Amino acid sequence: MPELPEVETVKSSLEPHLIGKTIKEVKVLYKNLIDTDDFEKKLVNQKIIKLNRVGKFIIFHLTDKTLISHLRMEGKYFLRENNDIYKHDHVVFKLDNGLNLVYNDVRKFGRFKILSKDKYLNEKPLSNLGPEPKNANVNQIFRILKKKNVSIKTALLDQKVISGLGNIYVDETLFESKIHPLKKTYKLKYFEVKKIIENAIKILESAINMGGTTIRTYYSTMGIDGKFQNRLKIHTKINQPCLNCKQKIEKIKVSGRGTYVCKNCQK
């Protein structure tokens, strides 16, 4: 379940190994991950110029194309020197230095799409994304939320409102902001929205610095484990005492997602 910090960690860990390398061959072993026709042919002899990240998407800037990769729930990348294919390997990019960049995905939810080099930000799926917290305008987000009649957690999980936040970091942000995840967005006051955005920025920056969060089956890539799980204050802490008031943390469901809350602190 990679969120913004985990995707940033994957991008950063891959970057030094891929910049300047040329894709010599592509093998797609599970076609449903691909949203572009002639995907394999279009990538042959494309040089990897740079990598960046938009929301939860990794962007591969190539010679004259842009490759968009969305890891979704369990997507991972591995760099391998051998040609062996392992369980859950679905896409293999053979590079000109003899290495293979392998996309592995237990759940098969990840997606790849080739977009134009200059207009990729204006094409789907990236054109649908809201701003990341660090780029968000409080006034604009406040206006958007006031027009909605959904829980604040549901709104924050909506990548069209704010991009990059997922289940873990929404729980942590709302706890830090002392706001109940089921609170309706139209009931939020301006200072509460400002607090949410400020805390989201702080939490995401801390998580990025610690390599993201490793929970259950997810780790970033090439054996890199994030450490932010050691800093979690509420997510996964069911029946443990709240750090602020010592009341037991509860687990509820919000939009089908397991959600952790201190009902004493979060109103």
* Amino acid type, 255: S
- Where does the chain have alpha helices with state H? 4-18, 39-43, 138-146, 152-157, 167-177, 190-209
Residue 67 belongs to what H/E stretch?
strand 66-70
Distance CA 63, CA 133 (A): 31
Catalytic residues: 2-3, 56, 257
* Amino acid type, 134: K
Q: Beginning with the edge strand found earlier in the chain, give each strand of the sheet holding 111-115 in spatial order.
A: 48-54, 57-62, 66-70, 111-115
- Contact of 103 with 86, CB cutoff 8 Å: no
- Contact of 79 with 70, CB cutoff 8 Å: no
Q: Which two tokens stand for residue 127?
A: 């054109």
Give the Å distances, CA to CA, from 88 to 46, 76, 109, 216. Answer: 25, 10, 12, 17
Pairing of strands 89-95, 100-105: antiparallel
Pairing of strands 89-95, 257-261: unpaired
